[in-house]
Structure 1
Amino acid sequence: MEDIAIKSRIIVAMQYDKVQKHLSLQFKNGERRLFADVPRNIVMNMVKATSPGEYYIANVRAQFPRLAT
């Protein structure tokens, strides 16, 4: 997985596996979430968003399958 720098009030770390299309997010509350089938353009849009946390809620959280971590 590749580490991706992100500036967010709720997300402290982000990793993406472009082969498997897995997105891993570490939240400030300590929770880690792993999502499958996430296209790279979604990941890059989240990084560039004015509010990555809001982008995550609107475009990732319910749209992609969550894997057990």
Structure 2
Amino acid sequence: MSKKPKKEETPKVNPELEGFQMNINSFGEISSSFSIDKINEFLNKNVDDKKLRDRDDLDELKKKKQ
């Protein structure tokens, strides 16, 4: 029995992250197609941080950045 060839499918991603690729080279170094700042900005907008939920000044800090 022959093995079926694996189809290389791209995962469904948020439109803001379209084209994002992460690679790990033979030395264990991680390389990315996006800058770290762009990734952090996306995560700050879209991911809830459990540690910061109960902070009273969090809303004020978000307003200052915008």
Fold conserved between structures, TM > 0.5: no
TM-score per shorter chain, which class?
under 0.3
Higher gyration radius (CA)? 2
Larger RCO of the pair (alpha carbons < 8 Å, separation 6+) = 1
TM-score under structure 1 length normalisation: 0.26
